[in-house]
């Protein structure tokens, strides 16, 4: 038997492992590791397939350079006033 003659169902993982669009990335990664799979089907609230998340997707997310913000920028984004020393 030649590899290109094998049907996909012969090598597919069953049952299909799924997560929802609201599943945290950390949970999806844990599920993939625990089940030794390289991808998960992502379903929407209506049960329809919304996409697929892969190990490669997770690695890409980890490899992104984090956006650096100063404490001042963080406080401003939260709508907090600058701390003022009442004795100054």
Angle between the 55-63 and 25-35 helix axes, to the nearest 10 degrees?
A: 130
Q: What contacts 25, CB < 8 A, 6 or more positions away? A: 58, 61
Q: Which domains does the chain have, with CATH numbers?
A: 3-64 (3.10.580.10)
Give per-residue pLDDT as tens, 15-57. 899 999 999 999 999 999 999 999 999 999 999 999 999 999 9
The pLDDT assigned to 85 comes to: 45
pLDDT of residue 6: 83
61-88: pLDDT as tens digits: 888 867 777 777 777 777 755 554 444 4
Separation between Cα atoms, residue 84 and residue 56, nearest integer Å: 46
């Amino acid at each position: 038997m030649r590899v290109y003659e094998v049907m996909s169902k012969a090598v597919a993982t069953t049952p299909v492992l799924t997560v929802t669009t609201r599943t945290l990335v950390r949970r999806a990664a844990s599920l993939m590791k625990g089940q030794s799979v390289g991808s998960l089907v992502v379903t929407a609230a209506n049960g329809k397939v919304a996409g697929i998340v892969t190990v490669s997707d997770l690695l890409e997310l980890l490899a992104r350079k984090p956006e650096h913000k100063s404490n001042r920028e963080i406080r401003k984004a939260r709508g907090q006033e600058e701390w003022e020393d009442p004795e100054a």
